[in-house]
Amino acid sequence: MTDRALIARIDHFVLTVASIDATCAFYGRVLGMETVTFAGGRKALAFGHQKINLHEVGREFEPKAQRPTSGSGDFCLISDTPLDAIIAHLHAQDVAIELGPVDRTGAMGPLRSVYFRDPDGNLVEVSNQTAVP
């Protein structure tokens, strides 16, 4: 074993959702993510060099989490768009801000964050890096 991390980056993670169509519409409208279709008609939300794979409750793909549940996600996304513009866009899209802007600590240093929920109740944090790593 090495003293370095064996993982370089996140490729994708999975959200279990009540409605894949509603989730794709929300993330496309609110965060500009692209809906992509891949193997077997599965759907994902693509952005940057990552994606969020979507599983519908009761129709999950194997293998899956031990107890997949809609609304149990809590994750942070980094944006280069100024947080004030993100907040204005969230307001324009009638997305309620749960918390923020607030200072947080991310994987690469200080963040300024805003929190809101998607249609399933997942907690979405969108942040600006406030110091150059």
| Virtual torsion, Cα 52, 53, 55, 61, nearest 10 deg | -150
CATH code, residues 12-129 = 3.10.180.10
* pLDDT value of position 9: 84
Q: pTM for the full model? A: 0.91
Instruction: Please give the helix or strand (H or E) that residue 30 lies within, else none.
Output: helix 20-31
Task: Report pLDDT digits (tens) over 54-76.
Answer: 999 988 888 888 898 999 999 99
Active site residues: 125
